[in-house]
Each structure stands twice: as structure tokens, then as C-alpha cells.
């Protein structure tokens, strides 16, 4: 393309100009097809340029012309000889008045990194070279194609602004051909042919085979590459691919993913070159890798694709032997539900697993049906049968662990199970009292009713509970008693010291579930004392440990706990990042095991003045919590709903708060109410609750203390004085997707002057002065 006709989006022009002014070496690093040469040529149009192409022999034999102010070196990834690398480095050092523009399909090579470390070299990556909507439209118009707004939207979404794809599209739509699925397929076909000739065939055979083997899987790791290829040097090949093409992108150290368009090509190529048996063999090896990594969702997918249905069943049975805190029920649920009923009925382990899974999915009728089938299975056994103890143990496990059973009658059941265990009449599966939550009282089960008699139960039930729970019971009684008294706002310093003295024993002989509960309780105590920084440090150290030991199942709740502290300390940037990257999905249905994260999400919504969103989420959680007897969760739902209704000026806040106070008073709980500080204080002082006046006085005093510690907790400190109109919100969303005023007007069907007025109002209401500040402000307000 003639450089005068090249499409350079304003953002790229501004970025290049900034880099030109602040450094001397600019590296364009992007895969094939991003228009690096065309863009660089157009951007250098006003300069005198010496051009070099590393694809040509002896390309460095011609010295740099003294009259040029810029040196352009294309195909830099081909510079492999140390002598050539040294020559380029010497040129950069010897010509301090000249700029060097380097074009490469790879990343910054090691021999250029010293310039990067000193700030002399900066990169322009593939993201900067992608066309935005305006650039795509301009290239189409240059080729006589004038799509309607909806058609342009579809083109941009399909092409993602990939310059090569848009260029091919221009030829496919020439002559007035409308954009369609068939046109998109043709663009894809031509793109794949180009990749095959310009990229794929340039790789040596071992590298090509490795890429085909890896194409179906993400992320890609060296261990996965070695297992799939059987080549101990596969990691080195990965490094070479990444260095020389940037078709493989770093996610983190030793973890990559393929550039999406190139991955699609490799999957297409795989279908052309491998027989079904060869493809099955690849999926089978990948399944083994994921199985060993305990990534059971991916392992099941690969086993199913490889046709190894026996392995699928084995893995489902293996997972069903785990309690929900360890098992991967949600990851594997589609495979459980797909199993023939007759097959499930033949396995007590699967019957137990299906009863638990359906309960976790809040389908209690189905859960009880599967339980009944397991009981019928047990009734057919004799005490002398090998399965008898195991099946009886599974029934006892479900009696204790099924969420819908609550905690009523659990004491008697545990005593009974303790007696049977002592007599070795059953084999009990492993338990998790916490279900990966940072709590014993409100973990896998709600034990609020036990809190009324916490000290008596500690003395009488400690041994039976720890016996029934095995490793999971180590430290449990001490933690439960300390947590119970903490919720009552009693002085737990002595009990906490006792509990911490057992942490080493818990780490050695107990479970990480109990370790999280203990450390989480200490963090909550520190937060209540105004020592939020110490609590954050404590939790971040535990997070690091869990990552090192592979206990990633705790991270979602641990991160949610950190987010709650950041809400208290006003760290809005970290809260916004949690909301953007780690908040739980609320569709297609809520997950019982994620409720701690849902409560955190509701708090963030309240802090962002999205009380309607918080109420919707809490309303979905309430039936589960009531049905399963989760007293503490219902208490928090009532409190958060009361705060929301109060801010919405809905008088029902008094009824919600009164119900919460009734529950809290019944159990002598102070901390669950007081922790909401300034968000709940005005409600407490004006609610007119008719309950225990002395109790209310204690709650208000504790709430004032927390308000002093964290005056901005759940207070919308960045609330807009005036809300955005529907149109202004639409303008904001398009503005945050880097749409120009003209594009916004075209999409919304309004005049340019009207768009400018809306943009001005949006910036004013957000309290920012520039367009590029609007996105950060909108994210903090939860508007995107």
C-alpha cells in the first residue's frame, strides 16, 4: 500500500510521536499481518530514512547515510548472527542523533535489552496496531465499500481490527458484496492460506508438529509441551517460537497462549493433517497431563474428546470421593448430569456425589432422591459385604454434610456417628467444615445455634467432633469457640493466643481449610481493632503460601476477604480491580459455595451506589440461606438489604433491620452488626427497634467504634451529584471503548453537536476533565 494511503489511527500516531520524543529506539513487535512495515513507513513519511531488510543477504553491508535522521530495520527477528547483532548495537551507540525504528515478529531480543533497561528503547505492540472502528471504516471506504453502521459493527467484531483480515475483507466485499457469514469464512480461509505460506512453513518440522499438538489447549506450559511431544527440549522450542513470532503470548512465567487468529489456523491445519485416531491420541495425552495437575474439568473434556469414556467415569468417581471443599463439582457438573442414570445407580460413590452436587446447585428434591437411592442400595447389602461399611459411611457423611439438612439434630447425629466410628462399624469419608471459607461457624454448615451454648459444647463435644472429622477436626473446637465469642464482641485475646499456639500443629497434621479459618479469624480480629494493614499482610502471606503449595481453591474467598478490607480502607483502585477481574459471575445461576464472594460483591455494589444491583443479588441468595438454615448469612442479608432500602428511601428498611436485630440479639451477636460501621449507624439510631435496649446500646457503641476506624466503609465517597441519563450512559460506554464523537453519533443516530453536549455532561457528572479519565471514574462507580 502507498504510505500516503496507509491507515494510521490517531492513537497510534500520538503513541509514536511520544516514543519518538522520549527515546531513540522504537521496536514494533507484532505477529505477521499487523501492518508493521506499512505503519512505520507512513509514520516516518516526514523523515529522511535509511532502510534495511534483514531478509536480504548482507543487509548491513551498506553504511548509514549521514543525511538521514531515522534508520528502519525490517524483519529484525531474522537477525541471529552475533556479528550482525553487534553491528546494530554499535550503530545505535555511534549515532546519538538518529532514531532507529525496528520491525519484528518477535519480542525484544536479549541483545537489545540493555537499551530497553536504560529507557533508550521502547516497544509498540500488536494492540496499538489493531484498527479501531474508524480505521476499519476508512480502509473499507478507500476500497469503495461503505457499510451501514450495523454492518460495520459486525465487521469490527469479526475482524477485531486485525489489519490483514480487514485488507482481505476489502477484496472479498469488492463489487458490492455484503458482509455475511460466508464472507467471513472466505476471509478466514484466505488468512489461513497466508499463514501457511508466510509463517507455518518457515518453521522447522519439529516446531510445526509441536504447534499442531498444542493448538487445542490453553494455557500452554513447558510441561504440557513435553508430555504432548515426548521431546524433553520442547520448552526450548516454545521459547524460540515466542521470541521469533510473538504468535505465542506470555500469560505469566512459563505460561502462554497463542494469538487467537493463529490458533484458529493451527486447529484448521490440525484437522487437515491428522487422522481422527491421531487427534484422539493427542487429547488422551493432554487428559493425562490435566489429570496429574488435578485440573479435572479439562481432563474430562480431553478424555471425552479422545473417546475414553471409561476414564471419564473413573474420574467422576474419583472426584465424588472428595468433599465439596476439595472436589471439583462445579467444573465437572455437565459430565455428572450427562451420565446415564443406570450407571449412577450402580455406584454408591456416584450416588453420594450426585446427592451432594444437586444440593450444591440448590436442587434439594433431586438431592434427596439420590440420597434415597443410596439408602436403597445400602438396604440391599449384608453386614458381611465388602461395601457395607463404605456405603454406611457415605450415608452418615451426607446426613452431616448435605447443606439442606442444616445443623438441627446434628449434635445427636455426631454422637451417634462417633460411637459407630469408635466401634469401627463404618468408614467415614473426609469432611470439610469450612468449605474453603474463612470461618468455622459459617462455613460448610451454620453453627449459630451452637453458639448459644458454646462453652458447654466445647467441653462435651470436642472429642466426638474431632474424632468424626479426623484431620479436619484438628483445631476446630478451639477455633469455633474463639469465633463464637468474637461474634459476641467478647475479649478473645487469650483464646486467640491459645489458638495461634496450635497453628503449627494444624499446618503439620491438620488441613489447610482449618489453617484458613484460623488465619481468617485473626485477620478479622485485627480489622476490628483498626489494624487493617496487619490483616492485609497476614492474608497476603497466606495467599503466597497457598499458591506455592498448590491450594488455589482458597484464593477466590481469600481475595474476597482482602477486598472487604480494601473497602474499609478506601482502596478504591484495588476494589475496582477485584470487581473487574475476580468478582464471581451471577449467571446462569448462583453457586452455593461462592456465597462469601457474592456477599463481597453486594458490598462493592453498595459502595458504588448500586443498591438495586445489591438487592437483586441478595434476594437470590435469601431462599437458599433460609432453606439451609444459614442463620448468619440471613442476618447479613437482612442488614445489607436494610442499608440498601435506607439509601433508596424505602421504608421497609426498618422491617429488614428489625428482623436482623432480632436474630442477632437472640444469639447475643454484636460484631456482625457493628462491622458495617457508618453504613448501618444512622439506621440503628433511628430504627425504633422494640427489642432489648441494653443490647442495642452495646451494638451502637461497637458500631461507633468501627465507624471511627473505617469512616468510609460502604459509603459511596464518589457518588455523582446527578445520575447519568440513559443516553449519557450509552455515550459513556462508547466513549470508554475509544469511539470518536463521530462514531458515537453514527451508532446512536444523533447529530455531532448533540454528542459533544452529551460528552460534556458525562465528564462533568463524573467529575473529570478529560475523556481518557472517564473510564477509570466509571469503573469506580460500577457503571461499566
pLDDT (average), residues 318-327: 82
Distance (Å, whole) CA 103 – CA 713? 50
Rg (CA), the chain: 31
pLDDT digits (tens, 9 = 90+) for 53-74: 999 999 999 999 999 999 999 9
**Would you place residue 418 in the very low, low, confident or very high pLDDT band (cuts 50, 70, 90)?**
low
- 244 has pLDDT over 80: no
To which H or E segment does residue 250 belong? strand 248-252
In this predicted structure, what is the pLDDT of residue 254? 79
Distance (Å, whole) CA 486 – CA 539? 19
- 465 has pLDDT over 90: no
**Would you place residue 428 in the very low, low, confident or very high pLDDT band (cuts 50, 70, 90)?**
low
350 close to 343: Cβ distance less than 8 angstroms = yes
Give the pairing type, strands 99-104 and 121-125. Answer: unpaired
In this predicted structure, what is the pLDDT of residue 664? 96
In this predicted structure, what is the pLDDT of residue 430? 67
Q: CA–CA distance from 122 to each of 74, 113, 278 (Å)?
A: 16, 10, 44
In this predicted structure, what is the pLDDT of residue 534? 97
**Would you place residue 251 in the very low, low, confident or very high pLDDT band (cuts 50, 70, 90)?**
confident
pLDDT digits (tens, 9 = 90+) for 535-572: 999 999 999 999 999 899 999 999 999 999 999 999 99
In this predicted structure, what is the pLDDT of residue 587? 78
CATH 1.10.10.10 fits domain 726-780: yes
C-alpha cell at 275: 487422522
Considering 90-99, 247-256, 416-425, the range whose residues carry the highest mean pLDDT is 90-99
In this predicted structure, what is the pLDDT of residue 138? 93
Distance (Å, whole) CA 777 – CA 758? 16
161 close to 132: Cβ distance less than 8 angstroms = yes
- DSSP state for residue 661 in the 8-state scheme: H
**Would you place residue 770 in the very low, low, confident or very high pLDDT band (cuts 50, 70, 90)?**
confident
In this predicted structure, what is the pLDDT of residue 363? 92
In this predicted structure, what is the pLDDT of residue 590? 85
pLDDT (average), residues 437-441: 91
Q: Kindly report which listed range (257-261, 313-317, 359-363, 720-724) carries the lowest average pLDDT score.
A: 720-724
- 426 has pLDDT over 80: no
Give the pairing type, strands 49-53 and 25-29. Answer: unpaired
- 410 has pLDDT over 80: no
DSSP class per residue in 203-250: S-HHHHHHHHHHTT-SSB-HHHHHHHH--TTHHHHHHHHHHHH--EEE
CATH 3.40.50.300 fits domain 3-129: yes
**Would you place residue 437 in the very low, low, confident or very high pLDDT band (cuts 50, 70, 90)?**
very high
CATH 1.25.40 fits domain 341-562: yes
- 107 has pLDDT over 80: yes
Q: Which residue has the higher pLDDT, 2 or 606?
A: 606
**Would you place residue 771 in the very low, low, confident or very high pLDDT band (cuts 50, 70, 90)?**
confident
Q: How far apart are the first and last CA of the chain?
A: 38
pLDDT digits (tens, 9 = 90+) for 307-322: 999 999 999 998 888 8
Q: CA–CA distance from 594 to each of 325, 435, 436, 536, 725 (Å)?
A: 11, 10, 10, 21, 34
In this predicted structure, what is the pLDDT of residue 330? 87
- 427 has pLDDT over 80: no
**Would you place residue 718 in the very low, low, confident or very high pLDDT band (cuts 50, 70, 90)?**
low
715 close to 607: Cβ distance less than 8 angstroms = yes
- 417 has pLDDT over 60: no
Which of 489, 428, 485, 432 is CA-nearest to residue 455?
Answer: 485
Which distant-in-sequence residues (6+ apart) come within 8 Å of 683 by Cβ? 642, 643, 646, 653, 657
Considering 314-323, 390-399, 518-527, the range whose residues carry the highest mean pLDDT is 518-527
635 close to 663: Cβ distance less than 8 angstroms = yes
pLDDT (average), residues 703-717: 89
High-pLDDT (> 90) share of the chain, %: 66
In this predicted structure, what is the pLDDT of residue 231? 85
In this predicted structure, what is the pLDDT of residue 69? 95
Tell me the pLDDT of the chain averaged across its residues.
90
Which distant-in-sequence residues (6+ apart) come within 8 Å of 671 by Cβ? 486, 487, 488, 489, 528, 702
pLDDT (average), residues 652-677: 96
In this predicted structure, what is the pLDDT of residue 719? 59
C-alpha cell at 755: 454528542
Three-point CA angle 507, 510, 511, nearest 5°? 85
Distance (Å, whole) CA 473 – CA 511? 9
**Would you place residue 765 in the very low, low, confident or very high pLDDT band (cuts 50, 70, 90)?**
confident
In this predicted structure, what is the pLDDT of residue 400? 83
pLDDT (average), residues 251-264: 85
Distance (Å, whole) CA 780 – CA 573? 8
**Would you place residue 425 in the very low, low, confident or very high pLDDT band (cuts 50, 70, 90)?**
low
- 422 has pLDDT over 70: no
**Would you place residue 413 in the very low, low, confident or very high pLDDT band (cuts 50, 70, 90)?**
low
- 295 has pLDDT over 60: yes
C-alpha cell at 120: 533508550
196 close to 189: Cβ distance less than 8 angstroms = no
Give the pairing type, strands 70-74 and 99-104. Answer: parallel
- The phi and psi torsions of 700 (rounded to 5 degrees) equal -65, -40
Amino acid at each position: 500500500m502507498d504510505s500516503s494511503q496507509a491507515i494510521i489511527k490517531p492513537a497510534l500516531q500520538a503513541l509514536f510521536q511520544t516514543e519518538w520524543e522520549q527515546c531513540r529506539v522504537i521496536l514494533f513487535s507484532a505477529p505477521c499481518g499487523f501492518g508493521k512495515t506499512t505503519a512505520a513507513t507512513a509514520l516516518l513519511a516526514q523523515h529522511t530514512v535509511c532502510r534495511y531488510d534483514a531478509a536480504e543477504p548482507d543487509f548491513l553491508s551498506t553504511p548509514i547515510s549521514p543525511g538521514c535522521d531515522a534508520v528502519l530495520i525490517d524483519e529484525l527477528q531474522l537477525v541471529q548472527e552475533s556479528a550482525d547483532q553487534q553491528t546494530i548495537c554499535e550503530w545505535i551507540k555511534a549515532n546519538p542523533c538518529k532514531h532507529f525504528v525496528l520491525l519484528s515478529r518477535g519480542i525484544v531480543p536479549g541483545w537489545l535489552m540493555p537499551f530497553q533497561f536504560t529507557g533508550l528503547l521502547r516497544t509498540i505492540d500488536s494492540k496499538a496496531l489493531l484498527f479501531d472502528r474508524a480505521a476499519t471504516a476508512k480502509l473499507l471506504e478507500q476500497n469503495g465499500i461503505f457499510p451501514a453502521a450495523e454492518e460495520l459493527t459486525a465487521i469490527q467484531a469479526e475482524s477485531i481490527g486485525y489489519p490483514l483480515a480487514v485488507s482481505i475483507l476489502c477484496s472479498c466485499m469488492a463489487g458490492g458484496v455484503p458482509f455475511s457469514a460466508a464472507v467471513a469464512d472466505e476471509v478466514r480461509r484466505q488468512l489461513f492460506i497466508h499463514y501457511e505460506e508466510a509463517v507455518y512453513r518457515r518453521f522447522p518440522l519439529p516446531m510445526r508438529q509441536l504447534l499442531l499438538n498444542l493448538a487445542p489447549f490453553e494455557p500452554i506450559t513447558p510441561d504440557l509441551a513435553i508430555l504432548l511431544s515426548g521431546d524433553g527440549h520442547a520448552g526450548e522450542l516454545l521459547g524460540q517460537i515466542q521470541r521469533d513470532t510473538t504468535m505465542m503470548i506470555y500469560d505469566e512465567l512459563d505460561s502462554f497462549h497463542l494469538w487467537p487468529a493463529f490458533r484458529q489456523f493451527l486447529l484448521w491445519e490440525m484437522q487437515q493433517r491428522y487422522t481422527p485416531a491421531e487427534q484422539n491420541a493427542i487429547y488422551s495425552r493432554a487428559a493425562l497431563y490435566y489429570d496429574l495437575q488435578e485440573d479435572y474439568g479439562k481432563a474430562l473434556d480431553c478424555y471425552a474428546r479422545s473417546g475414553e469414556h471409561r476414564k471419564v467415569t473413573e474420574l467422576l468417581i474419583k472426584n465424588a470421593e472428595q468433599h465439596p471443599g476439595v472436589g471439583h463439582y462445579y467444573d465437572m457438573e455437565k459430565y455428572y448430569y450427562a451420565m446415564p442414570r443406570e450407571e449412577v445407580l450402580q455406584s454408591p460413590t456416584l450416588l453420594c456425589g450426585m446427592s451432594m452436587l444437586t444440593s450444591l446447585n440448590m436442587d434439594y428434591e433431586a438431592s434427596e432422591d439420590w440420597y434415597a437411592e443410596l439408602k436403597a442400595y445400602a438396604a440391599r447389602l449384608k453386614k458381611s459385604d465388602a461395601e457395607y461399611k463404605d456405603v454406611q459411611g457415605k450415608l452418615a457423611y451426607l446426613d452431616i454434610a448435605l447443606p439442606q439438612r442444616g445443623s438441627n439434630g446434628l449434635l445427636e447425629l455426631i454422637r451417634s456417628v462417633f460411637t459407630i466410628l469408635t466401634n469401627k462399624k463404618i468408614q467415614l469419608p473426609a469432611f470439610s467444615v469450612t468449605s474453603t471459607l474463612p470461618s468455622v461457624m459459617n462455613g460448610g454448615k451454620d453453627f449459630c445455634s451452637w453458639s448459644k451454648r458454646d462453652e458447654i459444647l466445647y467441653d462435651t463435644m470436642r472429642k466426638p467432633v474431632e474424632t468424626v472429622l479426623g484431620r479436619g477436626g484438628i483445631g476446630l473446637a478451639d477455633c469455633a469457640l474463639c469465633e463464637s465469642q468474637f461474634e459476641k464482641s467478647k475479649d478473645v485475646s487469650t483464646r486467640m493466643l491459645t489458638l495461634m499456639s496450635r497453628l503449627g500443629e494444624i499446618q503439620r497434621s491438620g488441613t489447610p481449610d482449618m489453617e484458613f479459618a484460623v488465619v481468617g479469624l485473626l485477620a478479622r480480629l485485627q480489622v476490628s481493632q483498626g489494624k487493617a494493614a496487619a490483616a492485609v499482610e497476614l492474608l497476603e502471606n497466606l495467599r503466597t503460601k497457598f499458591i506455592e503449595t498448590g491450594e488455589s481453591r482458597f484464593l477466590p474467598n481469600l481475595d474476597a476477604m482482602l477486598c472487604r478490607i480494601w473497602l474499609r480502607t478506601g482502596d478504591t483502585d484495588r476494589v475496582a480491580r477485584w470487581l473487574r477481574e475476580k468478582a464471581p459471575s451471577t449467571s446462569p445461576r448462583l453457586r452455593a459455595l461462592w456465597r462469601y464472594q457474592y456477599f463481597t460483591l453486594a458490598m462493592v455494589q453498595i459502595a458504588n451506589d448500586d443498591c438495586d444491583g445489591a438487592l437483586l443479588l441478595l434476594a437470590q441468595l435469601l431462599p437458599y440461606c433460609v432453606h439451609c438454615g444459614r442463620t448468619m448469612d440471613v442476618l447479613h442479608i437482612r442488614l445489607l438489604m436494610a442499608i440498601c432500602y435506607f439509601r433508596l428511601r424505602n421504608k421497609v428498611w426498618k422491617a429488614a433491620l428489625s428482623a436482623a436485630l432480632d436474630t442477632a440479639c437472640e444469639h447475643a451477636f454484636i460484631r456482625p452488626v457493628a462491622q458495617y460501621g457508618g453504613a448501618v449507624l444512622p439506621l440503628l439510631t433511628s430504627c425504633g427497634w422494640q427489642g432489648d435496649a441494653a443490647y442495642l446500646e452495646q451494638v451502637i457503641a461497637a458500631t461507633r467504634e468501627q465507624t471511627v476506624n473505617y469512616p468510609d466503609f460502604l459509603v459511596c465517597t464518589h457518588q455523582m451529584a446527578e445520575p447519568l441519563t440513559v443516553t449519557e450512559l450509552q455515550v459513556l460506554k462508547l466513549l470508554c471503548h475509544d469511539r470518536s464523537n463521530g462514531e458515537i453519533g453514527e451508532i446512536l443516530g444523533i447529530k455531532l453537536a448533540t454528542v459533544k453536549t452529551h460528552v460534556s455532561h458525562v465528564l462533568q457528572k463524573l467529575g473529570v476533565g478529560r475523556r481518557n479519565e472517564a473510564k477509570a471514574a466509571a469503573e469506580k462507580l460500577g457503571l461499566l
